[in-house]
Amino acid sequence: MGGVTSSAAYTLDDSTADLAGLVELVGRGEVAVLSGAGLSTESGIPDYRGPTGLARRADPMTYQRFVGGEEARRRYWARSHVGWSQMRRAQPNAGHRAVAELERRGLLAGIVTQNVDGLHQAAGARQVIELHGGLDRVVCLSCRERTPRAELDRRLREANPGWRATSDAINPDGDAVLTDEQVAGFQVVGCATCGGVLKPDVVFFGENVPKPRVDECFDIVGRARGLLVLGSSLAVRSGLRFVIRAAELGIPVAIVNQGTTRGDAHAELTLDAPLGPTLSRLAARLAAEQGE
């Protein structure tokens, strides 16, 4: 990494030399990106453990609870219906646009995101694997048909014409915090094709990421020349395992995040700084080096 001190800490206030290691790593090309909730905070979506995620404001829905009872599903869909109305208005920020620009320049091997907000794609990125799925789709647990979330949103509004609820506490998975009184009376709809139970096309707590998807992510990391982690504390193994795999293979790892991460010990470079400005500077430096 061009003399960059192993696991060094950097801040955005340092001189432009603080980006030298990132420029060198990404400039080689074939870099795998692993992104987390911290990349989307500048789009108004809070993270779990960074500066905007002081504490999760509600217990996450588990797969077991969701499939186990109608009342749990009512509570989930009421809260998610409110959360989705706010999540869908989020726009890509400078960090998402910078990652899409790096892909456009042919520097990335692929993007693995732990986020379910679709903002990488909205920014123009194409080679994106949504590790935990996407909130813009729903799946029927009976017939497995997948349909757009917008269609479900319309059906839920029609089924609940007099229902109104708002929340100023939205989690990264689109889950809004509502009171029991707000949830009461909310009508859930089933699959329009078979009447089965609908679930967001995301991986709930207690549910496994499909193995083929995990294998595809490992393949991207395994053939990469570097791994760039963006906005993830790597607190859960779902993302940490890719950092560990890269380190085992001798693939250099760089982490840009606000705060420490569980992967710092495996990284050759860590940069504690806001994602949007940092990635914008990275993209600008690489453009300058390419003579643009």
143 a known binding residue?
A: yes
116 a known binding residue?
A: yes
Q: What pLDDT is recorded for position 209?
A: 95
CB 80 within 8 A of CB 176: yes
Q: Give rounded-to-5 percent helix, strand, coil for the chain.
A: 40, 15, 45
Q: Any idea which residue has 């409110």 for tokens? A: 82
In a domain, 4, yes or no: no
117 a known binding residue?
A: yes
Q: What pLDDT is recorded for position 164?
A: 84
156 a known binding residue?
A: no
Instruction: Specify the pTM.
Output: 0.88
Read off the CATH number of the domain in which 112 is found: 3.40.50.1220
208 a known binding residue?
A: no
How many domains would you assign to the chain? 1
Sequence-distant (6+) residues with CB within 8 A of 206 are 62, 63, 64
Q: What pLDDT is recorded for position 146?
A: 97
In a domain, 34, yes or no: yes
Residues spanned by the domain of 82: 16-289
What beta strand segments (E) does 108-213 contain? 108-113, 128-130, 133-140, 146-148, 198-202
Provide the total of helices (H) and of strands (E) in the chain, helices listed first: 10, 9
98's enclosing H/E stretch is helix 94-104
Q: What pLDDT is recorded for position 14?
A: 41
Q: Give me the count of residues in the chain.
A: 292
132 belongs to the catalytic site: yes
Q: In 10 A of CB 292, how many CB atoms?
A: 8
Q: What pLDDT is recorded for position 285?
A: 92
217 a known binding residue?
A: no
Q: What pLDDT is recorded for position 86?
A: 78
Q: What pLDDT is recorded for position 74?
A: 94
CB 189 within 8 A of CB 104: no
In a domain, 127, yes or no: yes
In a domain, 183, yes or no: yes
Residues 81, 96, 120, 132: which is the catalytic one?
A: 132
In a domain, 62, yes or no: yes
Chunked in runs of 10, what are the mean pLDDT values of the chain (292 residues)?
A: 37 56 95 96 75 50 93 93 86 98 97 96 97 96 97 96 76 74 92 97 92 98 98 93 98 96 96 95 90 64
Closest CA to 198 of 81, 47, 35: 81
CA distance 6 to 12: 18
Q: In 10 A of CB 258, how many CB atoms?
A: 21
In a domain, 6, yes or no: no
